[in-house]
């Protein structure tokens, strides 16, 4: 494993050294992720298995209360170390309440009545009542701030590359040519998706060349490839079951449109909706050959996207659920891991991505664009691709 830790060192009171088994330049990003947060040893020892119900950290807010299924309460940490650029003590807020409201329409009602300061994501059922055709807020919502961002989240249809049907790259390529991603983004998801034809989230990685992939909508090309694979007009192609998790109407809408596009090239698809845990477990175990899934990058490095098709990351080792393997891709990917110059590293990552994309390990779909409504008095609360919420900078302008 590239992030295997083989040792630690503390050469002085302000330096902590992590020693890795092999060079792995994206490791610095992992240290900035939530699973690398520093916690006090004493608190972990004191609370034991209950530490996560009694979290202690060095952040701007301290844990006060957790009522499972209802809310979490945080209060200002009086001894927080950081100040803003003008020397004012952070955080600005005295208290934060995080409410758990299962029904998005009920959550929306709470926002409208001033009981919440923001809602994310905006419920699709409310979309037409909030926005006009040009994405402007309608009269009843003019007082709110609307924020949007292109996220690090990609959506795809997985194809089990070890399955006899999907071992043939022509079948995988045919499926990619059969889907009109632009149509899905403009009509079904209404501004909330950007067509994606590659492994890496387009335009979100520093200095990473964002190029259009090969799979534009071309049902004629799809039929030709399917015929080359031995299935002229879909004849002899077995009926597929597309498995998806029960995550709301959007999931089912997309599955239905994929079903319709594949029918055009002669491929019949049945839909199977299952619980998320069942879905993930069966996909991970390689029991499902055609499935809907997504991925949210943990940090802004192409490595975190490309590792999803790395040959050494096949379960149980990692998240290469498609079981894609290509020696050339693996060679380039592993070469890039040790390069410290970002531009040079991105160049090699890009070469690796091109190898994988041409072989279509997935049916590529889109990257998500997320929207949120924010109360008029909220300030210092910018939206970012990773949805990292830096609440220490948030303040309320009561004059709004």
Model confidence pLDDT, tens digit, residues 107-153: 999 999 999 999 998 877 788 899 998 889 999 999 999 999 989 99
Instruction: Please check the confidence at residue 208 and state whether its pLDDT lies above 70.
Output: yes
For the record, the structure tokens of 154 come out as: 């990609």
Asked if residue 161 has a cis previous peptide bond (ω within 30° of 0), the answer is no
Report whether 273 contacts 167 (CB < 8 A): no
d(CA 334, CA 352): 9
Handedness of CA 133, 136, 141, 147 (dihedral sign): positive
> What pLDDT does 329 receive?
98
Place 193 in a pLDDT band, splitting at 50, 70 and 90: confident
Helix (H) or strand (E) holding 224, with range, is helix 219-228
Q: pLDDT tens for residues 215-268? A: 999 999 999 999 999 999 999 999 999 999 986 667 888 999 999 999 999 999
> What pLDDT does 125 receive?
78
* Contacts with 109 (C-beta within 8 Å, 6 or more apart), sequence order: none
Place 171 in a pLDDT band, splitting at 50, 70 and 90: very high
SS3 content of the chain, % helix, strand, coil (to 5): 35, 25, 40
> What pLDDT does 32 receive?
85
Q: Taking the model in full, what pTM does it have?
A: 0.87
**Average model confidence (pLDDT) across the chain:** 92
Q: pLDDT tens for residues 72-100? A: 999 999 999 999 999 999 999 999 999 99
> What pLDDT does 204 receive?
63
- Dihedral, CA atoms, 60, 65, 70, 74, nearest 10 degrees? -20
- For 325-332, the CB contacts below 8 A with 24+ separation are 325/161, 326/355, 326/356, 326/359, 328/355, 329/355, 329/356
**Quick one: which of 202, 295, 193, 174 has its CA closest to 253?**
193
Domains, the chain, in order of start with CATH, read 1-37 (no CATH), 38-100 (3.40.190.10), 150-369 (3.10.105.10)
């Amino acid at each position: 494993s590239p992030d295997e830790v083989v040792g630690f060192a503390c050469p002085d009171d302000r330096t902590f050294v992590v020693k890795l088994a092999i060079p792995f330049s994206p490791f610095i990003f992992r240290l900035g992720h939530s699973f690398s947060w520093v916690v006090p040893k004493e608190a972990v020892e004191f609370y034991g298995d209950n530490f996560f119900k009694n979290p202690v950290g060095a952040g701007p807010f301290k844990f006060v209360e957790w009522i499972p299924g209802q809310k979490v309460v945080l209060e200002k940490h009086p001894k927080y170390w950081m100040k803003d650029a003008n020397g004012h003590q952070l955080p600005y807020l005295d208290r934060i309440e995080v409410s758990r409201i299962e029904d998005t329409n009920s959550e929306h009602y709470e926002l409208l009545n001033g009981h919440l300061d923001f809602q994310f994501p905006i419920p699709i059922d409310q979309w037409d009542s909030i926005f006009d055709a040009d994405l402007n807020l309608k009269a009843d919502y003019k007082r709110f701030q609307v924020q949007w961002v292109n996220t690090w989240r990609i959506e795809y249809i997985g194809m089990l590359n070890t399955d006899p049907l999907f071992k043939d790259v022509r079948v995988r390529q045919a499926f990619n040519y059969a889907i009109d991603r632009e149509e899905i983004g403009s009509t079904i998801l209404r501004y909330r998706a950007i067509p994606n034809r590659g492994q890496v989230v387009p335009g979100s990685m520093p200095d990473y060349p964002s190029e259009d992939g090969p799979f534009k909508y071309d049902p004629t090309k799809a039929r030709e490839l399917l015929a080359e694979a031995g299935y002229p007009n879909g004849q002899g192609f077995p009926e597929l079951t597309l498995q998806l998790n029960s995550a709301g109407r959007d999931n089912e809408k997309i599955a239905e449109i994929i079903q319709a596009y594949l029918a055009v090239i002669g491929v019949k698809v049945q839909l199977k909706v299952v619980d998320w845990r069942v879905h993930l477990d069966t996909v991970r175990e390689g029991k499902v050959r055609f499935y809907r899934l997504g991925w949210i990058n943990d940090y802004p490095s192409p490595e975190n996207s490309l590792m999803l098709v790395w040959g050494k990351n096949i379960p149980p080792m990692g998240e290469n659920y498609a079981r894609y393997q290509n020696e050339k891709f693996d060679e380039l990917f592993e070469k890039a891991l040790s390069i410290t110059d970002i531009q040079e590293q991105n160049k090699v990552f890009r070469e690796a991505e091109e190898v994988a994309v041409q072989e279509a390990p997935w049916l590529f779909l889109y990257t998500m664009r997320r929207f949120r409504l924010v109360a008029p008095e909220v300030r210092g609360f910018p939206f970012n691709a990773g949805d990292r919420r830096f609440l220490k900078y948030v303040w309320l302008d009561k004059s709004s």
